[in-house]
Amino acid sequence: MNADQALRALADEAGIFPEFKDLEGVIRPTGVDTQRALLRAAGFAAGSGAEIAESLDALAAEKAAALLPPDVFATTGAAAELLTRADCSWHVIADGSSEEMASGITSECRLSLPALPSGVHHLHLERRGEAQEVRLLVSPGKTPSLEQTGAGAKTWGVVAALYGLHSESNTGPGSFEELQRLAAVLGLHGAGFLGINPVHALGWADKDTISPYSPSHRGFLNTGQIAMPGGHRHCQQGALLDYPKHRVLHEAALEAAGTAFFHNAGTAAQSAFDRFCSAGGADLRDFALFEALSERHGPDWRHWPAALQRPAGAATGPEPDRLRFHLWLQWMADQQLRAAQTAALDAGMPVGLYLDLAVGARRGGAEAWAAQDALAQGVSVGAPPDHLSPAGQNWQLTGYAPRRLQMQQYAPFRQVLAATMRHCGLMRIDHVLGLNRSYWIPDEGSPGGYIRQPFRALMAIVAIEAERAGTVIVGEDLGLVPPGFREEMSDRGLYGYTVQQFEKTRVGNFRRPSRLRPHTLACFGTHDTPTLQGYLQGEDIAWWEKLGWIDADTRTRAGRQRRADVATLPGGQARGQTADGRRDSIHRALAGGATALVAVQLDDMLNVSQAQNLPGTVSEHPNWQRRYPIGVDKLSDHAGLKKTAQIMARAGRSADRRKDN
């Protein structure tokens, strides 16, 4: 084969898409430069014809020698039969241990596995001096359902921006204490769950990042949301958060509290802290090590001294006291998040907290440092143009390189899943399409392209971890969705994601709530869309003009189209209604619809018109900075909450259907 054919063959072996269809239906080929960049990012040598030939030969030899594919699958508790290339002896070592679970000899190339528990087990094969270790992914057929949580077939909940919550004792960004209070309030009003933005670690040394969707590490918690005794009463006055002022006060309080703990903690508290550190293992130690090193060398490990750019080379760097302090911070955050979930369940919520798993982590952050052997290098994860962002998006986040992740036994992915599920009954996977394929944007300037991810394996791992945690899974399946993806996701038990603003028929009318996909979570909008009042008033269109994205004539046309859209919006047609009335009509329509879950934004219950985030902006719009107009202390008696709870109860969604709030 010639050079171009060899490159295409290697790209195909690596799972790189030869083309994709964009938002307008136009076929976009993946060019030669993009293929080479994506191959390098995925860990394949492809810089020359000779390197490409060597890579292809190595892959062919690996396949020829294999008795089984590197990943094989079975269903939890069910016997399975695998077909091997040749007869061999075999044994299975249990996930996370050295225990032998089963063994035998194949007959006529048939390997008969007994029923096994869930896990990523190790299947060892031997034949005439040849040996192969295979990943045996044993997973339940489905992830947990709402019914298994006690929520019934249908439920509802509230989604809030944790940073926007405040109280009489805390006028800064919302803490886990405000989360605990809000969970208790909502549970008493019949809500089944309380959703919040990601609470992943943003990084102690990073003083600039405020987006919860740009974390340093998804497997650990944002210590900026630890509640301190006495709170922070004087760090906020206006409608927007003053993060720099809060950080100064909050970090000083944390330092003092940490010092007090290590000098004065009782035996029980110290033992609990020690158990937490032991359970966290190497992953927790590496994270604390990164945090301590970042204080001296900055928040981006790519600019550190070469010897420190891997955990193994940095193990003796920082002072032990700083390591213990960062371990203690994670323990404090973990305790408080656990308390919020307990408060939610104690208040009658069958599901409790609904946490969000971000798409990836910052490329210079702790997760990229600790898991770099599993990550794509030289590319950023993003999205091509779609209805969420017609210009496309570069998120500057890490992405898993499929082969590298497989060689790590999927451990980095499992760690962030388990950590996020630990204290929630419901978890949303942001951009769940990334489990099927990722859009990588090369640093060297080539156009982006798609690479296939090990979808079956990643879905199996989601099911394994969800079963262990007892967590219901929602997959945010917006954007350019491959054929059959939603059906396969539903077959595995995951709930889809239905945003009413985007749910239109082919003729441009909104779908009736009764025609929405039943196995989904429905909401009017998200943190990336206009609020309900903002949509009705065209606030997003006004911002487009303000930022120069559209001119006055385009704004006029967009406003006319928006009024036409509202005319077909279920519950939004009635003229002359108050803001409360239109809000309640729209929520009533959603509540009576087909979807299993309905999520109402706290913004909408409070008639907030400005959005939390405007995609495509950084400093031009006050993203992630808006405080709610009233505090958590006053929400219990708020008319918007009471009315929403009443609507949901009458639609049969209340966690306590005997109450008519």
Task: Answer whether residue 112 is part of any domain.
Answer: yes
User: What's the number of domains the chain is made of?
Assistant: 2
Instruction: Write the single-letter amino acid at 95.
Output: D
At 356, list the tokens. 């969000």
Helix (H) or strand (E) segment spanning residue 339? helix 320-346
Report whether 166 contacts 241 (CB < 8 A): no
At 651, list the tokens. 């639609």
Assess whether 224 and 315 both reside in one domain. yes
Domain that holds residue 284: 201-350
Q: What is the mean pLDDT of residues 248-263?
A: 95
pTM over 0.85: yes
Report whether 459 contacts 137 (CB < 8 A): no
Reported as a pLDDT band with limits 50, 70 and 90, residue 254 is: very high
CATH number at residue 112: 2.60.40.1930
What gap in Å lies between CA 534 and CA 329, rounded to an integer?
38
Task: Answer whether residue 320 is part of any domain.
Answer: yes
Q: What is the mean pLDDT of residues 107-129?
A: 96
* φ, ψ of residue 126 in degrees (nearest 5): -135, 140
What gap in Å lies between CA 146 and CA 215, rounded to an integer?
29
Q: What is the mean pLDDT of residues 515-533?
A: 95
Q: What is the pLDDT of residue 572?
A: 76
Using the 3D structure, point to which of 316, 350, 384 is the last residue of a domain: 350
Using the 3D structure, point to which of 335, 350, 365 is the last residue of a domain: 350
Using the 3D structure, point to which of 139, 155, 188 is the last residue of a domain: 139
Assess whether 77 and 210 both reside in one domain. no
Task: Answer whether residue 512 is part of any domain.
Answer: no
Least-confidence region, from 22-31, 47-56, 143-152, 190-199:
22-31
Task: Answer whether residue 384 is part of any domain.
Answer: no
Assess whether 208 and 337 both reside in one domain. yes
Q: What is the pLDDT of residue 430?
A: 95
Q: Cα 623–629–633 angle (5° rounding)?
A: 120
What gap in Å lies between CA 68 and CA 85, rounded to an integer?
7
Q: What is the pLDDT of residue 341?
A: 98
Q: What is the pLDDT of residue 617?
A: 85
Q: What is the mean pLDDT of residues 143-172?
A: 94
335: DSSP letter: H
Q: What is the pLDDT of residue 217?
A: 98
Q: What is the pLDDT of residue 233?
A: 61
Q: What is the pLDDT of residue 478?
A: 87
Assess whether 343 and 213 both reside in one domain. yes
Assess whether 133 and 214 both reside in one domain. no
Task: Answer whether residue 451 is part of any domain.
Answer: no
Reported as a pLDDT band with limits 50, 70 and 90, residue 485 is: very high
Q: Cα 359–427–604 angle (5° rounding)?
A: 90
Q: Spell out where 485-535 has E strands.
A: 496-499, 520-523
222 or 234, greater pLDDT: 222
Has residue 18 got a pLDDT over 50? yes
Assess whether 221 and 339 both reside in one domain. yes
Has residue 51 got a pLDDT over 50? yes
Has residue 235 got a pLDDT over 70? no
Assess whether 284 and 205 both reside in one domain. yes
- In this predicted model, what pLDDT tens digit does every residue of 395-426 receive, in sequence order? 899 999 999 999 999 999 999 999 999 999 99
Average pLDDT, whole number, for the chain? 93
Task: Answer whether residue 389 is part of any domain.
Answer: no
Task: Answer whether residue 244 is part of any domain.
Answer: yes
Task: Answer whether residue 276 is part of any domain.
Answer: yes
Residue 567: count of CB within 10 angstroms of its CB = 12
Assess whether 240 and 326 both reside in one domain. yes
Assess whether 134 and 224 both reside in one domain. no
Has residue 658 got a pLDDT over 60? no
- In this predicted model, what pLDDT tens digit does every residue of 565-590 receive, in sequence order? 998 899 877 656 788 999 999 999 99
What gap in Å lies between CA 323 and CA 547, rounded to an integer?
44
Assess whether 205 and 324 both reside in one domain. yes
Assess whether 132 and 231 both reside in one domain. no
121 strand-pairing partners: 136
Crossing angle of helices 3-14 and 32-42, rounded to 10°? 50
Assess whether 209 and 130 both reside in one domain. no
- In this predicted model, what pLDDT tens digit does every residue of 605-649 receive, in sequence order? 999 999 999 988 888 999 999 999 999 999 999 999 999 999 999
